[in-house]
Amino acid sequence: MSESKYYEIARELEKLIDVGHYPEGSKLPTHRELAKEYSTTAVTVAKAYKLLAEQGDIESFVGRGSFVKSKSHLKQAIHSQHVENEWNFSILQPCFSHHLDALYRQLGQCVREPFSPSLFGYIEDTGCLNHKECGMKWMQHYGLQVRSPEQVLLTNGAQHALSTLIELYSKPGDCIAVEALTYPGLTSIIKALGRRAIGVEMDELGMTPSSLDSICLSENPSLVIAVPSHQNPTAITMPLQRRKEIANIVQKHTVWLLEDDLYSFLNTDVIAPISNFVPEKSFYITSLSKAISPGMRCGFVKVPQSQVQRLSSYIRTMVWHISPITFEVSARLIQSGAAFKLAESQKMIATHRQALARDILDSEILSSQNSSYHIWLTLPDEWEAHEFSMTAKERGMMVSEGHFFHYDDKAINAVRLSLMAIPEEQHLIEGLHSLKRLLDQRRTS
C-alpha cells in the first residue's frame, strides 16, 4: 500500500466509527494501546488521531484522551447531558434545584382527580377542547390575542410546531428568512427538509425591518421566523415598536410569519406579540418546555382562522394526535394557576443568576436581559471561539460556540452560556469563576 501507515490507521478508525464500533462520545484507545494493535509506534497513532481531529471526526483533550465526536450539528451545539462535576452552560432548560420538588407536588395533586377514560383512547380531533382552552389561557396571559380555542393546536413542543409548519408552508428549495443569529434547532430543521435559510440582519432591537423588506423583495421567502423575546442566542427582546414594524413588512409581502415566543414568560412586562398585528398571516408558537419542563413536550400554536382545518388535518395525518394524557396534566397545571407560579419562580431564579454572572464576569462583553436564561458572550480578541470552547471543555465547562448559531455556520467570536442548567447555585458560582479565569488567562499571559 502506498499510503503511509498513519493514514491507513486513520481510514480504518473512520470505518470503525461509521459502523458504530466506536459510538458517538465514546473514548478511543490510548496511543500506546492502538500502537500495539497495529504494530506501530505511538507517534504514528498520534498522527492518525490528529488527522481525524482535523476532519472533525474526533476530539482530543490533554490528560483525558480522544473521543468520537457527534455528527449532528445540533448535538455538537447543545450538550443536554448532565455529568457529575461538570458545568453545563450549554442547555436552556428550567433550573431544577427546587423546581422539581414543586413540580412533583403539583403533579401529585393533578393525578388525584381521575382522568376521563376517553383520554386513554384515540380522540376525535387533534386535541381536546379543554386542552386548547388551557393553551389559549397560557398564551393570553403573556399577551397574545386569541379569539377562540379552536384556533389553538397542540404539538410535541415548539420544535414539532416549527418542523410541521415549515414542512406544510414551504417547499423543498424554498428560502426561509431567519434572524442571522438563530436557534440551531431551527437551522437543523430547515436543512433536514431541504429548504434554504437566509439571515435577516440584526441590530440591538432584533431583526431589522429594512433587511427583512429587502430579503422579501429579492429572495421571496415562504416564511419569516422570529424569536421576539429573549432571543436565542442573543437574548434580545424586541420592543413593541420594532414588533409593529416587522408586522408591517410581513403584511406587505406574500409570506407567513412563524413567531416562536417560548421565552415570553421571562419578559418583565407583557409585550404584545408581532402576531397581534398580523393575526391572519402569522402562526404563534409557544411551549411549556422553558417554564415548566422540556420533558413534557407540550407545545401550543395559535393558527390563523383560515388555516385551522389545513394544519389540523396535516397533524392528524402525521401523528394522529398528540398525547392527551400529558396535555391533561399540563391543562390541570394551567387551570390551577400552578403553571404560572412555576414560570414566575423560574424567572426569579434567572434574574438572580443574571446578577451573579454580571458580578463575576466582565459585564462589558455580555449581552442579555435581566431575566434571560442565557448570556451571549463576545470573546475578547485573544480568544477564538472554538479554541475557547475546547479549552473550557477540558476544564469541565460546556459552552455553545458562536458559529452554531449563525444561519450559514459562519465563524462568530462569541459563545452562548446558559445560566439555568446547573442546579446548585454554589456549583454555578464556581463554574462562573472558572470561566472568568479562562477569559483572563490570555490577557495576563
Ligand X SMILES: Cc1ncc(COP(=O)(O)O)c(C=O)c1O
94 counts as binding ligand X under rule CB under 6 A: no
Least Å from the CB of residue 194 to ligand X: 20
Alpha-carbon distance of 120 to 38, in angstroms, equals: 57
Least Å from the CB of residue 106 to ligand X: 19
Nearer Cβ to ligand X, position 260 or 401? 260
Q: Cα 149 to the chain's mean position, in Å?
A: 27
Count Cβ atoms within 10 A of the Cβ of residue 43 and give its class: 0-12 exposed, 13-18 middle, 19 or more buried.
exposed
**Cis peptide upstream of residue 233 (ω within 30 degrees of 0):** yes
Cα four-point dihedral sign 295, 23, 70, 375: positive
How many residues line the site for ligand X (CB under 6 A)?
A: 14
229 counts as binding ligand X under rule CB under 6 A: no
190 counts as binding ligand X under rule CB under 6 A: no
237 counts as binding ligand X under rule CB under 6 A: no
Count Cβ atoms within 10 A of the Cβ of residue 240 and give its class: 0-12 exposed, 13-18 middle, 19 or more buried.
middle
Least Å from the CB of residue 289 to ligand X: 3
Q: Which of 352, 412, 407 has the alpha carbon at shortest distance from 377? A: 412
Residue nearest to ligand X (CB): 157
Among positions 34, 35, 77, 92, the unique one binding ligand X when judged by CB under 6 A: 92
Alpha-carbon distance of 184 to 75, in angstroms, equals: 10
Angle between helices 157-169 and 308-319 (to 10 degrees): 110
Among positions 127, 149, 185, 209, the unique one binding ligand X when judged by CB under 6 A: 185
Other beta carbons less than 10 A from residue 29's beta carbon: 15
Query: Beta-strand (E) ranges in 344-402?
Result: 366-367, 374-378, 397-398, 400-401
Amino acid identity, position 181: L
158 counts as binding ligand X under rule CB under 6 A: yes
Least Å from the CB of residue 272 to ligand X: 19
Among positions 260, 332, 368, 428, the unique one binding ligand X when judged by CB under 6 A: 260
402 counts as binding ligand X under rule CB under 6 A: no
Among positions 151, 187, 232, 312, the unique one binding ligand X when judged by CB under 6 A: 232
Among positions 187, 282, 287, 293, the unique one binding ligand X when judged by CB under 6 A: 287
Q: Which stretch binds ligand X (CB under 6 A): 43-51, 123-131, 152-160, 423-431?
A: 152-160
Nearer Cβ to ligand X, position 34 or 228? 228
17-56: which residues touch ligand X (CB under 6 A)?
Answer: none
Question: Which residues in this chain contact ligand X in the complex, by CB under 6 A?
Answer: 92, 157-159, 183, 185, 227, 232, 260, 262, 287, 289, 294, 299
